Chains A and B, each alone.
Chain A
C-alpha cells in the first residue's frame, strides 16, 4: 500500500543530454518533472560540438529536437539559472529548495530577436566559446541556444556594477518590455519523489600540467576550444584558424592530458582525438596531423571501424610521452620520449590537447547538498559499480552521465534511461 503523500514527481538536476533524456522519458511516463539548470540555456556540453563520433553526425541536428521537446513538454518545468540548495526527506517525499537567480529578461515576453545585444556597452569574453569569441553583458551563449532568451550577467552588467547603476540600454532597445530589473532571486520549494543528478563534467585545466605550454604559448588549444574553432556557429564560423588568422599547416594532438594527475582513463579522448583528425583533414586536406598517445583505447563495436576510416585519411601516430611544448622560431616544438627512452620532437603550428574529464568544480558542494558521497576522483559515488551504477546509497537519488564517471554520450543516455527505469519501478 502506498502512502497517500508519496510524490511521483521527479527533480532532474542538470539539463545536458543526460538530464534532457531523463526528463523527456519521465514526462512520457506521465511524471511531472522539475528540470533545474545552472546556466541560462539547456543542452550542456554536447551543443559545443559540431559533430559527434562515431558516425560524425551533426550534434545540433541530433539534440535540437530534444531541446525543443523539452521546452514544449507540458509536464517539464524548466528552471534555468537555478541551483538546488537544500534537500530534505527521502524516497517518495523529498523536499527540495531551489534557488532561482533572476534572469532579468522575461521568458514569456522575450521573443529572442536579439535587439538588446548591440546597445549593451559591455563586451566580454564568451565563456561558451571558451573565450575565443565575445558576448555582451546581456547575452545568449551561442546562436541557436535554447531557450532563445538572453540573460543578464550580473557580474558585468553596468546596472549592477557601474558607478551610477543606471544603465538601461537593453531595456530601451526592447520593444517587448521583456527586460525586467525588478526580478528578484527567489527560493522555490519543490516536492518530489525522486531525484536524478545529471550535472555533467568539466575538462581538466591543462594549466595544471605546465609542460604543455597551455596558457603560456599561443597556438595550444584544449579540446573544447578546438570544438568551437570548428563549429559552424562558433567564433570563426567554422574555420580552423590560428591566432595569426591563418589555417594551421601542421597539428599535433596530445592524448591523455591530465590522465596521470586524475588517476583514470576518461574513456572518450582517443575517440574524440580521432574525430579531430577527421575535422582537420576534411577542412584542410593538406594539413599534417600527428597524434601523440600512449595506449589507444577505442572500446565498443563501432569504434575500430571509425578508427580505420580516420587512419585512412593520413596522419601520424606516435606512441610517446610528451615532455614539453615550447615556442621555437615562431612555431611550436613538441618534445617527447619514445617508449625506448629515445627523445624525439616535432615542429607544428597548432597543438590540440585532449584533457581528462573531471567532476564539476562544485561537485563537492553538490554532494553535500544531496548528502551523497564522492569517490576518490570526486565523481558521485554509486551504490555498486557493477550492479547498481545509477543509484546512490541514499534511496531515491540517482546519478547519471559524467556526474557518475567519464563516459560517452551513448553511456550517458543509457544511464538516464536506466535511472528512469529504477524510478518508475520504485514509485509506480
Chain B
C-alpha cells in the first residue's frame, strides 16, 4: 500500500431534496470528480446527528462533508439552519479531539448546482489529501 497514492476516506451526507439532486445532476452531466467521497442520503441536513460525524472520525474518516439546501431553501422550512447551528458546536468538539476542524465541511448545494457539487467534492478531496490521514485514526488504530 505504501507505494500507492494516499487515498482519503471521505463521507458526504447529502440532503435528499437539494444536494443529492445536485449530485445527480453532476452525474447525469457526466462531470468527472475524484472517487474518495462516499455519499449517504438523508432526507434533510438536520437529520445528521453530530454523534454520527464524531463516530465517523473516530472510525477513520479523513473528512466529512454535510451538504444541504441553501439557507432559506430548506424543503422542511429551516432544517438547514438547525444543521448549521449544530455543526458550529461540532467544530469545537473536534478541536478537543485534536482533529483539524477543517476536516469537517458544511456546504450548501442546490439541485441545479451540478458543477458546484463537483467543485466542492474536488476541492474538499484535495484539501483532505493535503491534511493527510486523520490523526485520531492513527492514535486509535492498534
Is A–B contact present in the complex under a CB 8 A cutoff? yes
Q: Does B60 contact A (CB under 8 A)?
A: no
In the bound complex, residues from chain B placing their C-beta under 8 Å from that of A183 are: none
Inter-chain CA distance A60–B114, complex, in Å, is 11
Could you say which interface size class chain A belongs to? 20 to 34
Pick the residue among A55, A56, A59, A65 that contacts B112 (CB under 8 A). A59
Q: How far is the CB of B36 from chain A (nearest CB, A)?
A: 23
Q: How far is the CB of A148 from chain B (nearest CB, A)?
A: 7
> When each residue 16-52 of chain B gets 1 if its CB lies under 8 Å from chain A and 0 otherwise, what string results?
0110010001001110000000000000000000000
Pick the residue among B17, B28, B69, B72 that contacts A144 (CB under 8 A). B28
Contact A65 B75 (CB under 8 A): yes
Contact B21 A60 (CB under 8 A): yes
Contact B25 A233 (CB under 8 A): yes
Q: Which of A143-189 contact B (CB under 8 A)?
A: 143-144, 148
Q: How far is the CB of B69 from chain A (nearest CB, A)?
A: 6
Inter-chain CA distance A238–B75, complex, in Å, is 23
Chain A to chain B contacts (Cβ below 8 Å), 10 pairs: A56-B72, A57-B70, A60-B110, A114-B28, A144-B25, A231-B112, A232-B110, A232-B115, A233-B25, A233-B114
Pick the residue among B25, B28, B30, B72 that contacts A57 (CB under 8 A). B72
Known: A64-B111, A232-B114, A232-B115. A58 touches B73 (CB 8 A): yes
In the bound complex, residues from chain A placing their C-beta under 8 Å from that of B29 are: 143, 233
Known: A232-B113, A232-B114. A58 touches B18 (CB 8 A): yes
Contact A143 B69 (CB under 8 A): no
In the bound complex, residues from chain A placing their C-beta under 8 Å from that of B115 are: 232, 237-238
> When each residue 80-115 of chain B gets 1 if its CB lies under 8 Å from chain A and 0 otherwise, what string results?
000000000000000000000000000000111111
In this complex, what residue of A is CB-closest to B115?
A237
Inter-chain CA distance A148–B25, complex, in Å, is 11
A residues near B (Cβ < 8 Å) are 50, 55-62, 64-65, 112, 114, 143-144, 148, 231-233, 237-238
Inter-chain CA distance A232–B115, complex, in Å, is 7
Contact B72 A60 (CB under 8 A): no
Pick the residue among A56, A58, A148 that contacts B69 (CB under 8 A). A58
Known: A56-B72, A61-B18. A143 touches B110 (CB 8 A): no
In the bound complex, residues from chain B placing their C-beta under 8 Å from that of A233 are: 25, 29, 112, 114
In the bound complex, residues from chain A placing their C-beta under 8 Å from that of B70 are: 57-58
Q: How far is the CB of A248 from chain B (nearest CB, A)?
A: 21
In the bound complex, residues from chain B placing their C-beta under 8 Å from that of A237 are: 115
Please report whether the interface of chain B is mostly helix, strand, loop or mixed according to DSSP. loop
Known: A144-B112, A233-B114. A61 touches B25 (CB 8 A): no
- Having A58-B113, A60-B110, A61-B111, one finds 17 other A-B pairs with CB under 8 Å, namely A50-B112, A55-B73, A57-B72, A58-B18, A58-B110, A58-B112, A60-B112, A61-B17, A61-B18, A64-B21, A143-B114, A144-B111, A232-B110, A232-B115, A233-B114, A237-B115, A238-B115
Please report whether the interface of chain A is mostly helix, strand, loop or mixed according to DSSP. loop
Q: How far is the CB of A193 from chain B (nearest CB, A)?
A: 33
B residues near A (Cβ < 8 Å) are 17-18, 21, 25, 28-30, 69-70, 72-73, 75, 110-116
Inter-chain CA distance A238–B118, complex, in Å, is 14
Inter-chain CA distance A62–B112, complex, in Å, is 10
In the bound complex, residues from chain B placing their C-beta under 8 Å from that of A56 are: 72
In the bound complex, residues from chain A placing their C-beta under 8 Å from that of B17 are: 61, 64-65
Q: How far is the CB of B78 from chain A (nearest CB, A)?
A: 12
Inter-chain CA distance A144–B110, complex, in Å, is 12
Inter-chain CA distance A61–B110, complex, in Å, is 6
Known: A56-B72, A143-B28. A61 touches B114 (CB 8 A): no
In this complex, what residue of A is CB-closest to B72?
A55
- Closest A-B pairs by Cβ, 3 of them: A58-B110, A60-B112, A60-B111
Q: How far is the CB of B68 from chain A (nearest CB, A)?
A: 10
Inter-chain CA distance A363–B36, complex, in Å, is 53
Q: How far is the CB of B32 from chain A (nearest CB, A)?
A: 15
In this complex, what residue of A is CB-closest to B110?
A58
Inter-chain CA distance A57–B113, complex, in Å, is 13
Contact B25 A143 (CB under 8 A): yes
Q: How far is the CB of B118 from chain A (nearest CB, A)?
A: 10
Q: How far is the CB of A183 from chain B (nearest CB, A)?
A: 24
In the bound complex, residues from chain B placing their C-beta under 8 Å from that of A59 are: 112
Inter-chain CA distance A58–B72, complex, in Å, is 9
In the bound complex, residues from chain A placing their C-beta under 8 Å from that of B113 are: 58, 232
